[in-house]
Structure 1
Amino acid sequence: MSDHSLAHRAQHVTRTETVHLPPSAPPTNHGRTLAAWVTTWTVVAGSVVAALGVAFAMVWLFWVGMAVTVGGMVLGKVLQVLGHGQGGAATLARQARRGGH
């Protein structure tokens, strides 16, 4: 009878894992684009305002914060479409001016 204990299986691995690499190298800017920064900070600011509205029981402040959050997401998408996002023309031109990063 063979040994099927956890220790035996850990020492005698029978299967190998297949590694799937991406087809190309990822972008070098790591998401540091104008669209990403604007989206992140407006969503954070709107969330803080909404949280303050909840904490102080001010319904109108909560909805103002939610409006800022949604507006930030829309603004980020608009900037991405205008070329300021990952792989956009403005981002690639900025990378070329700065030496690729």
Structure 2
Amino acid sequence: MSSIHLEPQDLPDVAPHNHGRTMAAWVTNASIAVGALLMSIGFAISFAPLLWVGGAIAIIGSIAGGVLRALGHGQSLG
């Protein structure tokens, strides 16, 4: 048995109902996953252009997710 006892005020806030279910989150995660997949294939077959394309997709997708969040399609900060 644990000797740690948590009081209700010590618990973290409940996550919002749409946590991770926003357009910005989906675009960011999908683009990073596709970019990582292309980069790993490019690495495995020693094809540098595929590495660069995969990296570019991951970076552009991350920027697109940030833009979508700024436009109101993501989780609010507060």
Length-normalised TM-score, structure 1: 0.65
Structure 1, unmatched stretches of 5+, are 1-9, 89-101
CA distance, structure 2, for counterparts of residue 42 and residue 59 of structure 1: 19
Which ranges of structure 2 fall in alignment gaps of 5 or more residues? none
Counterpart mapping for 1:6-85 below 5 A: 15-19=3-7, 20-22=10-12, 24-85=13-74
Which structure carries more relative contact order (alpha carbon 8 Å, separation 6+)?
Answer: 2
Please tell me the residue identity of whatever aligns with 2:46: A
Q: What are the Cα deviations for residues 56-85 of structure 1, in whole angstroms up to 9, with x where unaligned?
A: 100111011001011111111111111111
Point out the structure with max Rg over C-alpha: 1
Identity level (%):
40
Aligned CA distance change for structure 1 residues 28 and 58 (closer, same or farther; 3 Å)? same
**Residue of structure 1 aligned with 2:75, choices 83, 86, 96:** 86
Aligned pair count reads 75
Alignment root-mean-square deviation, CA: 2.0
* Correspondence for 1:99: none
